[in-house]
Amino acid sequence: MIYSFPPFVNAKTEILILGTMPGIASLEKQEYYAHPRNHFWKIIYTLFDELPVATVFEEKIKVLQENKIGIWDVLENCERKGSLDIHIKNHKPNDFESLLKQFPNIKKFYSTEKKAIVISLKISDK
């Protein structure tokens, strides 16, 4: 069983970017999108004209939060061999209802992965 990270949001967060579950490199470093070939942070920094990308994870989160963006995963935990979403089984979704009650300014959701979209749609149907 592997576990996701806590949400990186604050009272000003209006946009929540959703992944499915951190990959092996991210779990090892305890940082979102830590694999060196993942372009997530380069895209974020390019969007906000903040290049070069910081090497310290807390500084990366600060760029998100300064732009009213939060980050979290749709899954709290799951079983998965490797890093690919297609290998996810026995998953438990994160508690979005509680998160949205605590942070009511979150109004927009974007996903980094197809699996995250499918799972979040299933959660919203409940």
Q: Is 38 a catalytic residue?
A: yes
For residue 92, list its beta bridge partners.
Answer: 77
- CA separation (Å) from 32 to 29, 105, 106, 121, 125? 8, 22, 20, 22, 27
CA dist 24 and 29 (Å) reads 9
Which one is catalytic: 10, 38, 94, 105?
Answer: 38
Any residues with CB less than 8 A from the CB of 49 and at least 6 apart, and which? none
Residue 125's CB is within 10 A of a number of other CB atoms, namely 6
Residues carrying an active site annotation: 38
